[in-house]
A and B are shown apart, each in its own frame.
Chain A
Amino acid sequence: MNKFPPLPYEAEVTLLGTGGGYGESVLLKVGIDEWIIIDSCIDPYTKKPLPLQYLEELGVPLEKVRLVICTHWHNDHIIGISQILASCLNAKFVFSRITDLKKFLYLCGLDSQKTSKGSVTSTEEFLNCIKIVAGRRDYFFTAEADKKIYRSIVRPINLEFELYALSPSPKVIEDFTGEISTLITEYGQRNNAIINKSPNDKSVALLLKFGNTRVILGADLEIGRDENEGWRHIVINSLVCDDHRSSIFKIPHHGSENGYLQEVFMNLINEDGILKIAPFARHNLPTDNMIDVFSTHSNHLYLTSKNSISQKPKNRDKGIAKIAELACKNLREVKFSYGVIQSRIQYTNNLASWVTLTHGAAFQYAV
């Protein structure tokens, strides 16, 4: 991995992974020196958000970060994002469009009240970001299908960088308004933590365009039940995907079967494009079968770490470990496996192609 910042006329698309248990994040360098951070992950030992650590290692000042995008609202997916937003003073905050934001903030408020009484918070990261935006008297921005969320022009070559949201679809946004009431009823005033898998369908997939280059970042978006949701909606209805196929695809939802739609590869992704996956070992994602499927689409398949979960608990006193073992079957540690897949391209050279390097636990999959 290059430990120096990209050159002014280079663009960068870097995926950070942790093995799944501690989040994932994508960093984009666009224009001359503008950075965008999508989601977050942390080092569980230092608690430091890894995107900040990455930028510091490259020597990039945090004021160069212009956008912090939250593709989910659930803490599990965005751990550390409020610390990122607080540290990046020039960054705008973007999140999935929520029609009834006031009601959603009420859900967050109830979650916060419960947390103060010993519950486990599920919305703290999102709520803290909102509070930071309010405290700065800044604007927030929302993402929904076909909406442009960032634009930058490089002078004097007049090259335009545009970042579009590909999701959520109008139907998913509409459905979520009703879901908030259900969440308030089911979790708002009870002791349970919110274990909600549905944020995935509100997940914000993104399309980056500059010149003839396209990059699709799949977040955790799943294929959807019909053409009104998920990748099915994008393939059929997207107004911003054009004839240029993506040369980099951050594969959605840790390479799960639920996130795989063949039409996406047929219509939107370059043959032999660069495919990046952040595995989620705890849920055994991606499976070997899905790795085989992705391998049929490209020889440039990269993973931020191996999909293997430890079969052992954490190191602790042997006597205690023995008693614990009797009560709890399969007690095993969710290991922290930090991996970086860094891709850079010189955008002033029409013949240039992406140069991809790995670091840490990341590797290129060999067929």
Chain B
Amino acid sequence: MGNSTVLTNTTRSSNREGLNDSLALPQMKQQLINNVVARNLKYASFYSLNENSNSQKNNLNLPETEYFIHHFDIKFLNELIPSSRPKRYSRKTQSWKGIVTEVNEDSFSARLYDQTQNDTYEIGDFEIRVVSPEDKEYLKIGGIFYWSVGHFMENGTSINKSEIRFQRLILLTEEDINSAINESSTLFGQLKEGVIE
């Protein structure tokens, strides 16, 4: 799986000590690009959330953008934006990879694979409203998503988060398809069916 990340920056009007105090958005975006390239990540997004506006999303579409994995990585964020101030985040996070098994009018069910404890799996039901409007088109049986929950502190304020991001379309290139055709033809050519006497 390729490296990828989504960074979430929460800024509240009542508390302007968020990270975009220290850097203007274009500068931050450039730093993100630099860091993403340096880390050989395939995709990154930066969210600026403000009480007075809707979520603004800035995707950094890199040449190799192929898929999107949600994962909020505060540690990475701190590394990314050097600051003389003490780090203000501590975190506990947990993520699951989910496969949609059933879609109803207001809810959906999924099989959930814990990304930190790779043994037994879980099942669970979600309300469809927890899926962002832009992800709804991917909510289908067999759809793959990443569910992350986290708890962290920002200047003494406790913040809980739960986010679901669906995997975008996997676009198989002509090369991929040709490769599948060639491999299946080669494999088929090597097979011989036996007969029980």
Contacts and interface: CB of A to CB of B under 8 A. Distances in A.
Interface of A: 21, 44-45, 92, 101-102, 105-106, 108-110, 112-114, 117-120, 130-131, 133-134, 137-142, 147-151, 187, 189-195, 282, 313-314, 316-317, 319-320, 323-324, 326-336
B124 A118 contact: no
Contacts, number: 176
A94 B188 CA distance: 16
Given A134-B187, A320-B149, A44 B168 contact: no
A130 B191 contact: yes
28 contacts: A44-B119, A44-B120, A92-B194, A102-B185, A106-B180, A106-B184, A109-B179, A112-B180, A112-B183, A114-B172, A117-B66, A117-B67, A119-B167, A119-B170, A137-B190, A138-B192, A140-B194, A141-B194, A191-B67, A191-B138, A191-B168, A193-B99, A282-B123, A319-B92, A320-B151, A329-B124, A332-B123, A333-B121
A151 B194 CA distance: 14
Contacts of B144: 118-120, 191-193
Given A118-B1, A324-B94, A319 B151 contact: yes
A364 to B, nearest CB: 26
Contacts of A193: 99, 142, 144
A151 B1 CA distance: 45
A195 B109 CA distance: 13
Contacts of A314: 114, 117, 120, 122
Interface string B132-169: 00000010111110010111000000001110100111
Q: Which 6 A-B pairs have the closest CB atoms?
A: A139-B194, A192-B142, A109-B180, A105-B184, A327-B162, A134-B190
A258 B112 CA distance: 26
Contacts of B17: none
In the complex, which range does the number of interface residues on chain B fall in?
35 or more
Nearest to B173: A113
B124 A114 contact: no
B94 A316 contact: yes
Interface of B: 1-2, 66-67, 69, 92-94, 97, 99-101, 107, 112, 114, 117, 119-127, 130, 138, 140-144, 147, 149-151, 160-162, 164, 167-170, 172, 176-177, 179-181, 183-185, 187-188, 190-197
A328 B126 contact: yes
Nearest to A315: B117
A155 to B, nearest CB: 17
Given A193-B144, A320-B94, A139 B169 contact: no
Contacts of B107: 329
A86 to B, nearest CB: 16
Given A195-B101, A320-B94, A118 B125 contact: no
Contacts of B187: 105, 130-131, 134
Given A21-B120, A120-B144, 18 more contacts: A101-B188, A106-B181, A110-B172, A130-B191, A134-B191, A139-B193, A140-B192, A189-B177, A190-B169, A191-B169, A313-B124, A323-B149, A323-B161, A323-B162, A328-B124, A329-B124, A330-B123, A336-B119
Contacts of B162: 323-324, 326-327
